[in-house]
Structure 1
Amino acid sequence: MSRFAMKLHASEEMEAGSCLRLGGESPEPQLCKQGSQGRDSLAVTVDGRVFVVDKALLTSHCEYFRALYQSGMRECLQTELHLRGLGAAGFVAMLGVLNGERPALGANELVEAIECAAFLQVRALAGYLVDLIDSDNCLLMCHTAFTYGVRELSHRAALFIRDMRSDLREDLWSLPPELVEYIDSLVPCTYMAVCSHAPSSELLQDFQRTVCYLDEDTRDWRVLTHLPKEASTTMAGVAVLDNKLYIVGGVHDVSKKVMDSGFCYSPVTNTWSTVPSPKQPRYNFTLIGHEGCLYAVGGEYNRKAISSVEKFRASHGTWSFASHLPCPAASVASAKAMSRIFVCLWKAKGATDIHEYVPQEDRWVLVTTLVRQQSYGLCMVAHRDNLYVMRNGPCDDFLLCVMDRYNLTSGQWSAVAGQYGNSKGSLFTAAVRGDSVFTLNRTVTTEYTIEDSRWKTKRDMKGFGRIGSIYTFLLRIPKDAVQLKGSSMADRPDQRYGLLVKDPSSVAHCLNDR
């Protein structure tokens, strides 16, 4: 029996209909203080352990306690409560998350934490569990969350499984048939690429101005859609948010005049729409999509690096300024790990600072500094709780790509075994899907698998035969868009794919967009 199946069978024995009760006696409770006893504290007994907690903390984050203390029932006046049917480990995990901690959870703790998130209706805990989804626990998380009705967590775990279905196929038998059917109904992530292009005209249309996807069945690149003629991907910000591709900024030509508007592509409706540009004109900047917002980070204007950062709230369609970078910087390397935003800022003498942006506090926090001899180029990607920083090798071996790993949990740096030459794909345009990393250059597209501290080549596919800078990302292309998938990159299209619409609100929302 596989490691996934053993825990899944254990979770099947859990009673999804367990009820929580107030009052009553708890046999020989063990005091486990989580705070000081006071007027606003509450003694909560869970599985024989007593937790002294802040009542305001529970009522502000737990729908169950909020409803309880607004009900007018006599329990509202009690300073001691007994919760039956919950595990103490799940309650401890909940308290840790509510206090701003990031607890590591084993399989048993995950099950109890999901149960706690379900019955106490703790959205913050469910959100944290989403960040913990990986190939070791995704089946357990999906099944347990499905059992207890934590829909968002179950859905996100199902999407992760769908992306890694070929690697997990031997373990899917341990899931209920209806859950496997749901997973198979979802749309997997597809590796995408677009080159840097200047705007075109009706008279001089550039048929190379395409957004392409990797057809992994044929191991070849194909055209998904053409860029609007007004769009520029030269020195633009490119990012995906809610399964929509955003292209913001960019320049017209060598004069570096900044574009007046940006563009958004929805693969669900195969349409382009326009979006406003940031308030500060900028190019050569980094665009990051995160929790309903785009962040335009740094860049250049009038050939000078800038430190300003702007946030675009997609639901409002407006830009606003955020906290500036610690220093002016252009073409900033960035990555998202555990739903956290990280950027690399170069310093003198071979040092690179990694800063985290905390949206809730609108501030940048220095996380760590990497000191390595380096020549040119920098990229950062994330896998689980690791950040991988890639750069060219020492000046005497320019073509080698050297990698270091920073573990967010332990706070430790380590050199990743092996050096990757540019002939095996440019690691400066990498994208992570599950346990795989996709890289490309003009001659080869390489899929690596991440195993412990190594990246091992999984397979090679056709390269992306275009010149210029390349942006890569992941999108979920709906199954009903299969008619778009017949055009090879080498084909001259008879028509321009993708309709340009001016009103972004007319673009439909994708059910499987996360």
Structure 2
Amino acid sequence: MKESTQDEIHLQNLGALGFLITLRVMEGERPLLTCDEIVQAVECAAFLHVEILTKHLVNLIDSENCLVLYQSASAYGLLDLFHAAALYIRDIYEYLEEELDFLPSDLLEYVDSLLPCKLVAVGAHTPALEFLQDVSRTMCYLNEKENCWESLGCIPDEASTFLAGVATLGNKVYIVGGARGANKKVVERSFCYDADNQSWSDFDSPHQLRYEVTLIGHEGHLYAIGGEYERVPIASVEKYCISSETWTFGKELPQSAAGPPATKAMGRIFICLWKPLDTTIIYEYETMKDDLIPVTSLKRVQSYGHCMVGHRDNLYIMRNGPSDDFLRCSIENFNLTTQQWTTLPGQYVNSKGALFTAVIRGDSVFTLNRALTLIYKVDNCTWKPTKEKAGFSKGGQLHTFFLRLPEKKELTVNQLNKMPRPLRSKSDLRSLT
């Protein structure tokens, strides 16, 4: 092309600010962006086909910028970002009612066509004998409108959720590892629940069999982190590729760990380990380089982290209270942008493991025990209780996550066939900045 012989190439209609953001992201930075910066970054991501910038924009979606990202992605044809922003808007619909009045009708219609995610829970169950027909081995979802738990059916007889790794990816639930019996014999098969088809299937387990394993789903892969085998903690990490259906070994943990807390934030995986002398250390698992990078540490007397959740660019670590008080928890916040720790004021009740099963949807944290589902509003300073819903009747360890559950089979088929409305023009973005 003629550009190959030119000393200067003019990129038409691209702003310098958007191009600078593109360069920063390509060099490994993960900057937070204002609304004006978002629009220019979306334009550059679309015009220059910068996939890594599009992924970064998807990871930036929150309640404050989701509408800007949604309309910008529509204008410039970034369909992955367009769909991700629409799903986020659908999940926090009730908190955006006033702002949605200003959304163009075709974009609002697409949001309305999507399924909202629902809180799903399953208790700790070991494999059952088929003839016993254990009806308690059910996976249930919270019907928030009716304030009751409804069944999604029983988990397979051979599956174990006791000390198993449970994670979601692509609207599917994956169960890896687990144990049976008092002697903790490891379960040798892994299982998958497809929410779209409402069906179960099995797949190969990691090369290193394990129970009390932590499982994370991320960008087409499952990561099985740590665990135990024959009552001995292990440090190995294995990665399962969904498309090729194969397990490969990854970077080992710096120490053996059973059930280490882990979460995702800003499109990154973080793992919480503890060492002697009351020290909690957070590592980032760098998936592209297959490496573990120390991020920060926290030292608290007679305390260590039990659960970790990510919200925007924050990591929240729930730890037991003073003197191993497991009924009341302290919450520490580490901000990835400022690299600063803060302690949330007050103590948080942890009745029978509620805060150890926390999951986040939008700006809401869902915690669960047998008595109630307590929903917090999260910000940088505190978690404020906002709603109480029905508790989950199953005892013991709980696994909680979100799925998009079709109400009818026909609705799912229609949604899969439904495409976004025609993209909007650049002139529609003027009001956004």
Report if TM-score (shorter chain) is over 0.5.
Answer: yes
State the match for 2:344 in structure 1: 416
State the match for 1:117 in structure 2: 45
State the match for 1:83 in structure 2: 11
State the match for 1:102 in structure 2: 30
State the match for 1:450 in structure 2: 378
1:114/1:376 Cα in 2 relative to 1: closer, same or farther (>3 Å)? closer
- CA deviation string 1:100-128 (max 9, x = no partner): 11122111111111111111221111111
1:309/1:423 Cα in 2 relative to 1: closer, same or farther (>3 Å)? closer
Equivalent residue letter for 2:371: T
2:266 to 338, 343, 349: 338
Tell me, in whole angstroms, the C-alpha distance in 2 between the residues paired with 1:251 and 1:482: 38
Tell me, in whole angstroms, the C-alpha distance in 1 between the residues paired with 2:102 and 2:258: 49
SS at match of 1:239: strand
Q: Is the 8 A contact 1:345 1:352 kept in 2?
A: yes
- CA deviation string 1:50-79 (max 9, x = no partner): xxxxxxxxxxxxxxxxxxxxxxx2211223
Q: Is the 8 A contact 1:387 1:406 kept in 2?
A: yes
1:301 aligns with 2:225: no
1:359 aligns with 2:287: yes
SS at match of 1:170: helix
Deviation at 1:204, TM superposition (A): 1.3
Q: Which blocks of at least 5 consecutive residues in structure 2 are unaligned?
A: 419-433
Q: Is the 8 A contact 1:90 1:115 kept in 2?
A: yes
1:174 to 90, 95, 102: 102
SS at match of 1:140: helix
State the match for 2:421 in structure 1: none
Deviation at 1:327, TM superposition (A): 0.7
Q: CA RMSD in A?
A: 1.8
TM-score normalised by L of structure 1: 0.78
The correspondence of residues 362-373 of structure 1 with structure 2, limited to 5 A, is: 362-373=290-301
- CA deviation string 1:126-173 (max 9, x = no partner): 111111111110001101111111111111011000000000111001
The correspondence of residues 321-332 of structure 1 with structure 2, limited to 5 A, is: 321-332=249-260
1:469 aligns with 2:380: no
Deviation at 1:84, TM superposition (A): 2.3
State the match for 2:406 in structure 1: 478
- CA deviation string 1:444-476 (max 9, x = no partner): 111111133111111001111111110111111
1:430 aligns with 2:396: no
Q: Is the 8 A contact 1:386 1:406 kept in 2?
A: yes
- CA deviation string 1:25-44 (max 9, x = no partner): xxxxxxxxxxxxxxxxxxxx
State the match for 1:193 in structure 2: 121
Q: Is the 8 A contact 2:303 2:324 kept in 1?
A: no
Tell me, in whole angstroms, the C-alpha distance in 2 between the residues paired with 1:253 and 1:323: 31
Deviation at 1:479, TM superposition (A): 3.0
Q: Is the 8 A contact 2:280 2:305 kept in 1?
A: no
State the 4+ residue runs in structure 1 displaced beyond 6 angstroms. 509-512
SS at match of 2:132: coil
Equivalent residue letter for 1:187: L
- CA deviation string 1:314-356 (max 9, x = no partner): 1111111111011110011001001100010011111100000
Tell me, in whole angstroms, the C-alpha distance in 2 between the residues paired with 1:149 and 1:398: 50
Q: Is the 8 A contact 2:221 2:239 kept in 1?
A: yes
1:150/1:461 Cα in 2 relative to 1: closer, same or farther (>3 Å)? same
2:200 to 268, 272, 278: 272
- CA deviation string 1:218-254 (max 9, x = no partner): 1221111210111111111111111100111111212
Q: Is the 8 A contact 1:377 1:428 kept in 2?
A: no
Tell me, in whole angstroms, the C-alpha distance in 2 between the residues paired with 1:444 and 1:111: 42
Q: Is the 8 A contact 1:375 1:398 kept in 2?
A: no
The correspondence of residues 56-75 of structure 1 with structure 2, limited to 5 A, is: 73-75=1-3
1:325/1:404 Cα in 2 relative to 1: closer, same or farther (>3 Å)? same
Q: Which blocks of at least 5 consecutive residues in structure 1 are unaligned?
A: 1-72, 484-508
1:290 aligns with 2:218: yes
Tell me, in whole angstroms, the C-alpha distance in 1 between the residues paired with 2:175 and 2:410: 24
1:356/1:293 Cα in 2 relative to 1: closer, same or farther (>3 Å)? same
State the match for 2:191 in structure 1: 263
Deviation at 1:373, TM superposition (A): 2.4
Equivalent residue letter for 1:403: I
State the match for 1:281 in structure 2: 209
SS at match of 2:9: strand
Q: Is the 8 A contact 1:268 1:510 kept in 2?
A: no
SS at match of 2:386: strand
- CA deviation string 1:187-208 (max 9, x = no partner): 1111111011011112212111
2:162 to 221, 234, 239: 234
The correspondence of residues 380-419 of structure 1 with structure 2, limited to 5 A, is: 380-395=308-323, 397-419=325-347
- CA deviation string 1:251-272 (max 9, x = no partner): 1212222112111000111110
State the match for 1:17 in structure 2: none
1:207 to 114, 117, 135: 135
Identity %: 52
State the match for 1:131 in structure 2: 59
Deviation at 1:372, TM superposition (A): 1.4
Q: Is the 8 A contact 2:167 2:216 kept in 1?
A: yes
TM-score normalised by L of structure 2: 0.93
Q: Is the 8 A contact 2:376 2:383 kept in 1?
A: yes
Equivalent residue letter for 1:220: C
Greater Cα offset, 80-89 or 137-146: 80-89
Tell me, in whole angstroms, the C-alpha distance in 1 between the residues paired with 2:349 and 2:334: 21
Equivalent residue letter for 2:363: D
1:112/1:393 Cα in 2 relative to 1: closer, same or farther (>3 Å)? same
SS at match of 2:14: coil
Aligned length: 415
Tell me, in whole angstroms, the C-alpha distance in 1 between the residues paired with 2:338 and 2:37: 20
Tell me, in whole angstroms, the C-alpha distance in 2 between the residues paired with 1:382 and 1:337: 5
Tell me, in whole angstroms, the C-alpha distance in 2 between the residues paired with 1:202 and 1:167: 45
Equivalent residue letter for 1:143: Q
Tell me, in whole angstroms, the C-alpha distance in 1 between the residues paired with 2:304 and 2:49: 49
